[in-house]
Amino acid sequence: MTYRCFLAALFSGALLLSLSACDDSSTVGLGVGPDSLEGGQPVTVTASPDTFDTFTEVDVTSQVASSTDSIPSNGHRILVGAVDDPLVGTVVTRGHIDFRQPDDVGNFESIDGVNLVLQTEYRYGDTSSVQTIDVREADTEIQSDWTADETGITFGDVITSFDIAASDTTVTVSLPSSWVAANGPTLFSTSTGSDSYDDLFEGLVLTTQSGNRVTGFDRESSFLQVAYQPAANVQDTLEYDGAKSFTHIERTTTASPPSGTELLQDGLGTNLVTNFDFNDSPFDELGVVPVNRAELVLPIDSTALEQSTPANFVRPSLEGIFLRARAVDSLRAETSTGELSLCRSLGLQTTVESSCLIDLSLTSTGLGAPNSAMRRIVERTLLEEAPLFDRYVLELNAGEPTITPLLLSTPDATNENNRPRLQVTVVPQN
């Protein structure tokens, strides 16, 4: 699982505001003095961060079922393959998957065969070629806190290989009879301790052999299918469901994003640091006024993405984008149900690390936060004359390992409309 999913942290106190006037006739330009806030006419101010720095915090890309009765509902994807992206560079991934022994395992007369059944759900790279994947036996138990760059993980030689086209949705891989003869009895072991199934079998590892593509397999829908005879001349099958997963991710060549952009990428953990200072002008000049609208926009350089995309090359779209706003220490009081009082008062969901969750959407101008959420945050901040949050964290595909890139425009982008900004419209009172 990607527990530390793709992050863009927004730390407070890091930036000063640069201000620009709105050209709309219904607004009043900035820096024209307090008289501009009289008359009840809407006033729009725009704040643009003057710092856009990155840091790295590699994602956790493993997850282990918490009990024998449940398989985690998130973090269930493993990535396999290598992709050379002219924008991102070369990224190589390796997938580990382990399986849960069914409860109804019993004696067997013979084992006729074992199939590895994989369900695809993610494709990144060249869709015109065939990808060849090697299947290996794992010799290390997956841990729940492994990060994408985990080192020292060993695995065995190639058991078998298989080809997969970009259009394939289900892949069934027949494991060789020699492997079945050597490992079949382990699958049926009901012993405990060092002779137990869990101790003897650590799952399988999928590595890339060829192909310019990374494929994601859904762990929850993938399984080992064991055909066997519980008694002479009686046929039956068992399914060993995927219960543990891990993806190793590494970049082997340098990325070359165009100037005026920051390249962020899930899995590799490239994060962004920025902030808006509500204690600085013009917010400190607005006073306590009703906030009509507040828009946070983080523009994406879609033109650069398109220009660096070869023919038959696919980058998966962003599947889920969230902003985690971490409450300042003085506002971390919880309700009886474990929610943050601050989050509840703002109509937001409480999430990890004393944070409130804000959904983001992909609009024509980039990533945007809902006006309703940002309006309440800005209005209360102006009312209390103190920040509510000390950092904001951008999450992509929470729980789902990916290598999907995000190309954000920076404050020094050539086109002013492509610069990150917080735009606030207030209605001064007569």
- 184 and 221 belong to one structural domain: yes
- 234 and 275 belong to one structural domain: no
Q: 4 lies in a domain?
A: no
pLDDT at 95 over 60: yes
Q: Which of 253, 278, 299 is the endpoint of a domain?
A: 253
Q: What is the pLDDT of residue 72?
A: 47
Mean pLDDT of 154-183: 97
Confidence of residue 50 (pLDDT cuts 50, 70, 90): low
Q: What is the pLDDT of residue 66?
A: 58
Distance in angstroms (rounded) separating the CA atoms of residues 183 and 196: 13
Q: 38 lies in a domain?
A: no
- For 319-351, write each residue's pLDDT tens digit: 778 888 899 999 999 999 999 999 999 999 999
- 74 and 202 belong to one structural domain: yes
358 by DSSP, 3-state: which? strand
- 319 and 221 belong to one structural domain: no
Q: 192 lies in a domain?
A: yes
pLDDT at 70 over 60: no
Strands (E) across 140-221 are located at: 155-164, 170-174, 204-210, 213-218
Sign of CA dihedral 288, 293, 299, 303: negative
Query: In the chain, pLDDT over 90 holds for what percent of residues?
Result: 49
Mean pLDDT of 15-28: 34
- More confident position, 290 or 177: 177
- 79 and 226 belong to one structural domain: yes
- More confident position, 68 or 61: 61
Least confident of 71-85, 175-189, 303-317: 71-85
Q: What is the pLDDT of residue 281?
A: 72
- 227 and 312 belong to one structural domain: no
Q: Show the tokens assigned to 425.
A: 């419209």
* Residue 110, beta-bridge partner list: 229
Q: 18 lies in a domain?
A: no
- 97 and 242 belong to one structural domain: yes
- Enter the pTM of the model: 0.83
Mean pLDDT of 275-291: 77
**Residue 269 Ramachandran class (φ > 0 left, ψ -120 to 50 alpha, else beta):** left
Mean pLDDT of 237-261: 92
Q: 10 lies in a domain?
A: no
Confidence of residue 38 (pLDDT cuts 50, 70, 90): low
pLDDT at 53 over 90: no
pLDDT at 1 over 50: no
Q: What is the pLDDT of residue 317?
A: 82
Residue 237: closest CA among 250, 249, 223: 223
Q: What is the pLDDT of residue 16?
A: 30
pLDDT at 199 over 50: yes
Phi then psi dihedrals of residue 337, to 5 deg: -95, 5
Q: What is the pLDDT of residue 39?
A: 54
Residue 419: closest CA among 11, 17, 8, 14: 17
Query: In the chain, pLDDT over 70 holds for what percent of residues?
Result: 87
Least confident of 55-64, 169-178, 179-188, 211-220: 55-64
Sequence-separated (6 or more) residues with CB below 8 Å from residue 79: 93, 94, 95, 122, 214, 215, 216, 247, 249, 267, 401, 402, 403
- For 361-384, write each residue's pLDDT tens digit: 887 778 998 899 999 998 898 888
Q: Spell out the SS3 assignment of 290-337.
A: CEEEEEEEECECHHHHHHCCCCCEECCCCCCEEEEEEECHHHCCECCC
- 275 and 398 belong to one structural domain: yes
Burial state string for 84-119 with b = 16 or more CB within 10 A and e = fewer than 16: bbebbbebbbbbbbbbbbeeebeebeebbebbbbbb
Give whichever of 18-32, 224-238, 356-370 has the largest mean pLDDT. Answer: 224-238
pLDDT at 5 over 80: no
Site of tokens 């927004």: 10
Q: What is the pLDDT of residue 55?
A: 77
- 311 and 228 belong to one structural domain: no
Q: Which of 200, 221, 253 is the endpoint of a domain?
A: 253
Q: 273 lies in a domain?
A: yes
pLDDT at 45 over 50: yes
Mean pLDDT score of the chain? 84
The DSSP output letter for 33 is -
Domain span at residue 386 reads 43-55+266-426
Q: What is the pLDDT of residue 12?
A: 35
Per the structure, the count of domains in the chain is 2
Q: What is the pLDDT of residue 232?
A: 87
- 277 and 221 belong to one structural domain: no
Q: 2 lies in a domain?
A: no
- 285 and 149 belong to one structural domain: no
Q: How many CA atoms lie within 13 A of 426 on its CB side?
A: 27
- 212 and 292 belong to one structural domain: no
pLDDT at 13 over 50: no
| Type of residue at 315 | R
Sign of CA dihedral 383, 387, 389, 395: positive
Q: Which of 188, 223, 253 is the endpoint of a domain?
A: 253
Q: 3 lies in a domain?
A: no
Peptide bond into 282 cis (omega under 30): yes
